[in-house]
Structure 1
Amino acid sequence: ILSRVKSADDPLAALKEYPAGKTWKEGLTDLLEMLGSLRQPGMSMGQMFERIMDYYEPIFERLYHDDYPRRRRDLDELGRVMGGYTDLQAFLDDASLDPPQAGAIEDDGGKRLVLSTIHSAKGLEWDTVFIINLAEGRFPSAQAVLPAHKEEERRLLYVAATRARKQLYLVYPQEIMSYDSSAAAGGPSPFLQELPHALTQAPAAPAWQPQSPAYDAEQEERPDYSIPPLRSAYPPGLSSSAAAAPAQSIKLGNRVRHPFFGEGVVEKVVSPKSLEVLFARHGRKTLHLDYAKLELVK
């Protein structure tokens, strides 16, 4: 099929002539009808999106029957973005990201800023790499609910991190845009929370603030998402006044305090140095006591 489409002057006409099998002929016919309707003159980008969704939504609901309303929000956001364009080619130019070319990167002595997806960066290296948007719910994706999915996201982060020859910066936003384009507080990815705190730097107050009438009133109640330094066993200047509880003194049911997650209750002792703690604001977390310096709350 691909060979015929690529070699044809009119791909849709070539597909219509393709001898489809009995089991998928009806599906191909519906697809061709939808693609053909997109050629109608005068269609806006919003109308194109609506026509595509008329075709795709039944398929979408069948494939993701367990959580399609949540996934639909991503498609609605795509439709909102498409609605801001008057030309399909302009949208495709902005939406697509050409992979960086190794030779071109070296031509200017590395003075250019290269923006790349992680997949496109495979096989390439730079002296300094910034991995951005490492926010909770974004990386790993909120849709990565199964352990296998999260491990795949972790492997993807490894690919990104190993693109750096000398310096690597892992960055998360303090403010993120929600699906309705309103501003919301951003927290660090669970992957960042696994790092030793001595390797982290607490962010300064954000220079940009969302233009919301209620923002000033809510400012005092916003949680602090900075990651504090580790309390001990690291270079001078990175310690705090509080002392961490010895691992052997923390028992099932104890109330503990974490420097970032706040207070919680130990629900499970996974291993001598690993605990599962339920935090009031951040949910259930598995913590390694070599890195997570917990205080016993009496």
Structure 2
Amino acid sequence: MTESAALNIVVLAGGISHERDVSLRSGRRVADALSSAGHRVVLRDPDASLLPYLAEYRPDAVFPALHGSSGEDGALLELLDALGVPTVGSSAESARLAWAKPVAGSLVQAAGLPVPDSIVLSHESFRELGAASVLDVVRQALEGDLVVKPASGGSAQGVTIVDDPAGLPRAMVEAFTYADVAIVEHRVRGTELAVGIVDTGEGPRALPPVEIEPTHGVYSFDARYNAGETTFYAPSRLPATVLAEVEAAAVRVHEVLGLRDLSRIDFIVDASGTPWFLEANVLPGLTETSLLPLAIEAAGLDAASLYGELVRTAIARG
């Protein structure tokens, strides 16, 4: 890369969400990759000095590597847009849609894709209507094993698999620790897949789906970020016909939610080969154990080059 081609890029990492440590790891990986490609990179925390710094420094682009509310709820993205700073990733509006899992699920279901049956409960209604009465209705409406999770957030924080009805109250408390709204959904059993989507200006394309096989049966926070806790298969071992359907579904979700540049769409594929949509991530993890980098490698792409292309796409978009 010539000096004239080098860009001034600010990578954002950290924040005050529950996923701060993961974000810092993602940010360092992105910054190192872009630096290795010859770009001038500054790694910044989204603190009180950030907006004045960006207004004065005027980088060529910002690459957010933020997880949780720090970057994925759309607030910071809207401010960056107001500053006129080209930013890699989805718009604030699309980020808000994906961040609210019940909203994303409703939009995806309306587009004709399978989404697990669920009930959405706010902490306020849970208290006001009485926990015992609410959970009785939930158990009647949703048969079998359940998954309880916060309606926003990531990295499996606050997520509980409930295979015994006696564990449901505790699972609700755990979910409400991370968000004021919780989702109780029917547990679909099958193979968990993550599909990375990238778009460098020629339309979204799916990377090879990554199959997730946790050592202890549940893809928990520890299983995501501790080496040896999970076996990943990139690409997945599922039949090519099934993977093609999953890839098409992932691109469709990306489009339905209006996402840009990069995303990760998560599914459970049941025994019949049907992919069930779980959630969409507008700023997926980019750590050494994260799924999108595994998919990038499986696709035969160079991460540093791809990140640079995404930056140029954001700059061209203005």
Name the TM tier (shorter chain).
under 0.3
Q: Give the TM-score of the pair, scaled to structure 1.
A: 0.23
Structure with the bigger percentage of helix: 2
Structure with bigger gyration radius:
1
Higher relative contact order (CA 8 A, sep 6+): 2
TM (norm. structure 2) is 0.22
